Amino acid sequence: MKRLHLLAHAKLNLVLRVVGRREDGYHLLQSLFCAVDLADEIELEAIPRGIELEASPELGPPEGNLAYRAAQALLGEDEPGVRIVLRKRIPVGAGLGGGSSDAAAVLAGLNELFSLGLSGDELSKVSARLGADVPFFLGPSPAWVEGVGDRIAPVAVPLPAAFLVLVPPFGCPTPEVYRRYDDLGIPPSRPGPVPAVPPFANDLWPATVALRPELREFRRRLEALPSPGVGMTGSGSALFAAFPSREEAAAAREALLLPPGARAFVAAPVGAGYKFAG
């Protein structure tokens, strides 16, 4: 049977502006997305029919997993079929985009595995039905993402060489953060061009820290490091600090006093949301 091995990269939102809200309740954003080399591993194997997903039970039922749903969206439930082996490395519920990245990698992988011949635009249309962040992971990084994730433009901006990513022992559910953002009555930001980074501005920070006040202490620990800037990705809970080199980020990780249950990773920017690994 044919097999493919892929890496599904995490992302950081280096900038996130909330610039409005549609009548249907969806918030309109501008965000600088950056893929990094922290990655889930995905193996795709052709089988006669159906979709099988091998993953940690902690991720819940296969049918609810975005990797499974991506295969379902592209292949249906009949012939050909695929077995997906998903090895999670990206923390769940931290704003790092792991589920969306998995979905994009599965779409790209299935297109290759079965020689479907779908164009990038065709894959993007399928991916948009799976989630707002999924289309980004099919293209180059970094990218300026606008609207509800439907307008994506690759950009050439100077990026830090490495990041120290701090993941607290709790997640921040995105719908709850946006509800808190609305409850706080925060006025939307004015749309603007792609800004230089740092600083790493995120309009959701007040809402996220209102939901989980303990994030202030996590951020304080990163801000005590010799970094040119600290930010939060997505709606949290993961925070990051920028560094001029991977070595300096690794040294900062050694110096960081991690609270119980928290994790820290060194990650560097990569040029795409997924990678064929053999």
- Only one residue has tokens 């009949």, namely 78
Interstrand relation of 81-87 and 51-54 (parallel, antiparallel or unpaired): parallel
pLDDT of 242: 98
**Cα–Cα distance measured from residue 61 to residue 232, given in angstroms and rounded to the nearest whole number:** 29
> pLDDT exceeding 90 applies to what percent of the chain?
93
pLDDT of 65: 97
Tell me if residue 51 falls in helix, strand or coil. Answer: strand
The catalytic position among 102, 133, 203, 275 is 133
Active site residue 11: yes
> What Cα–Cα distance (Å) separates residue 127 from each residue in 107, 117, 201?
8, 16, 27
Read off the tokens for 272: 């795409």
CB contact burial 235-272 (16+ within 10 A = b; e otherwise): bbbbbbbbbeebebbebbbeebeeeeebebbbbbbbee
The catalytic position among 11, 40, 102, 203 is 11
pLDDT of 76: 85
pLDDT of 150: 87
Find, among 7, 80, 90, 79, the residue nearest to 43 by Cα: 7
Residue 17 has φ and ψ, to the nearest 5°, of: -110, 135
pLDDT of 182: 96
pLDDT of 105: 98
Low-confidence ranges of the chain (pLDDT < 70): 1, 278
Tell me if residue 124 falls in helix, strand or coil. Answer: helix
pLDDT of 263: 96
pLDDT digits 0-9 by tens, 133-153 = 999 999 999 999 999 888 999
**Cα–Cα distance measured from residue 54 to residue 39, given in angstroms and rounded to the nearest whole number:** 17
pLDDT digits 0-9 by tens, 104-122 = 999 999 999 999 999 999 9
- Sequence spans of domains, the chain: 3-156+271-276, 162-267
Active site residue 88: no
Please, are residues 162 and 249 in contact by the beta-carbon 8 Å criterion?
A: yes
pLDDT of 248: 98
**CB burial class (10 A; 0-12, 13-18, 19+) of residue 88?**
middle
Q: What is the CATH code of the structural domain delimited by 3-156+271-276? A: 3.30.230.10
Q: In the Cβ-directed half-sphere of 114, how many Cα atoms lie within 13 Å?
A: 21
pLDDT of 78: 76
pLDDT of 1: 59
DSSP state of 26: P
Please, are residues 30 and 17 in contact by the beta-carbon 8 Å criterion?
A: yes
Please, are residues 51 and 64 in contact by the beta-carbon 8 Å criterion?
A: no
Please, are residues 208 and 235 in contact by the beta-carbon 8 Å criterion?
A: yes
pLDDT of 24: 87
**Cα–Cα distance measured from residue 26 to residue 150, given in angstroms and rounded to the nearest whole number:** 12
Read off the tokens for 157: 């901006």
Pick the CATH number of 162-267 from 3.30.470.20, 3.30.70.890, 3.40.50.150, 3.30.930.10: 3.30.70.890
Residue 122 has φ and ψ, to the nearest 5°, of: -65, -40
User: How many CB atoms lie under 10 A from the CB of residue 159?
Assistant: 18
